[in-house]
A = this chain, B = another copy of it.
């Protein structure tokens, strides 16, 4: 933050209801999460944004390992011939590939793609690695960045390079592959809801919206405060779509060669966009405690008065030792008011203020970022007081977002209702299952099919669009 703007900076955030898109851009920039770079469509994650991603990684990685996955690291380059092996896949990705054509001062004989995703590389290696049924399943994941030459980009939501994880697994049977696909969808759902405090709809994508080369794609779809959907994670069941062209075979218990069944699943730095647009407000970012770089910020009040900085230091040590991520803002050239604004903008869940009067009373004053609720905590039982508040904030943020999601989701039974509903949120509709209706809905309303919930209990007989026999319950929404 440049100097001289002290008084004004919070007012620079465009109000959400005035221009949600501009509000988003303002928050991203002012909270110091990222910056644009001289490379078209590529961003840099600054320390604060990168730390959020690290905390996301750590928690997701723990859940992947708990469910029996191991990490590997694959090459970032993929020879063109590999990309071409699965027809639908290449069609989906070829238009947005960045190609390496020169290396070590020479023109390469074959172009190499910077991975837009790594199915083809994993398939190539799986074919080398699997021999017998004893080697199965192989449940691998990698953390890396990938590159897709997008035409229009927005920080976190759509960038040419982005950071993600991609899980790739192979299994002996179709059943096991389907189990894995749904298991990881559930890992994604619980991660979004329990860690990011972002409520989601879990379900299956339509054939039109599924991943290039997949037999079935599932997604978790979040709802942003403008009512638009954000796809937060996807899991794919490939069946043998890749294992046949890549010849990934194993010897089964009967001694016969059989093709493996394959899955993949991914989540990306897009999640940071989901956090911002689910929770943020006029004052800036609101971070759920589980992934906040600082869960607590301590602000000394009248820091020059005897005992204040000492007490703040003690409290800092105490909370740090209790495993709480805490920041002591001891900068002496900024006023408390400036610091209040700055830490609110950065979304720190809990602010503690400690001044001479607090010390006299044996308390610390607090403010919750989620509700702006203020109060005091006893200094002699501070750790448990802070932990209780953080848990309350985590739950409170989820509840608020969930209430919004419920309020902004409505059943619709005709195009008029659907058109109105997708202006403000998700429309749950009965659908015939045909691509033609999906296309028509998109043309007329710019909403797309998001996913089909697992509960497919019908609430009507006729398709919202064509009026013919309905076969599916489908969520429609405008989407990022």
Contacts and interface: CB of A to CB of B under 8 A. Distances in A.
Interface stretch (A92-100, A228-236, A311-319): A92-100
A39 interface: yes
Nearest to A269: B73
A77 interface: yes
A156 to B, nearest CB: 12
Interface stretch (A121-129, A182-190, A342-350, A421-429): A121-129
Contacts of A132: 3
A240 to B, nearest CB: 21
A47 interface: yes
Interface residues of A, number: 60
A51 interface: yes
Contacts of A140: 47
A299 B151 CA distance: 56
Interface string A121-156: 100110011011010000010001101011100000
A11 interface: no
Contact of A114 (B2, B45, B111, B114): B114
Nearest to A122: B44
A379 interface: no
Given A82-B38, A124-B37, A125-B37, A96 B101 contact: no
In the complex, which of the residues A38, A132, A144 has the most CB atoms of chain B within 10 Å of its own CB atom? A38
A102 B104 contact: no
Contacts of A301: none
Nearest to A71: B50
A258 interface: no
A375 B114 CA distance: 52
A98 B111 CA distance: 11
A44 B71 contact: no
Given A101-B102, A103-B149, A73 B53 contact: yes
A43 B98 contact: no
Contacts of A131: 2-3
A260 interface: no
A325 to B, nearest CB: 12
A150 B105 CA distance: 11
B125 A44 contact: yes
Ranked 10 nearest A-B pairs via Cβ: A104-B149, A47-B70, A42-B75, A45-B73, A99-B102, A98-B103, A103-B149, A39-B75, A101-B101, A39-B77
Given A37-B124, A39-B112, A51-B70, 14 more contacts: A3-B131, A35-B129, A44-B72, A44-B125, A45-B72, A47-B70, A53-B73, A77-B161, A96-B104, A98-B112, A99-B102, A100-B101, A102-B111, A104-B150
21 contacts: A35-B128, A37-B125, A38-B124, A42-B75, A42-B77, A45-B72, A47-B70, A50-B70, A51-B71, A54-B71, A73-B145, A76-B147, A98-B103, A98-B104, A99-B102, A99-B103, A100-B101, A100-B114, A101-B102, A102-B111, A105-B149
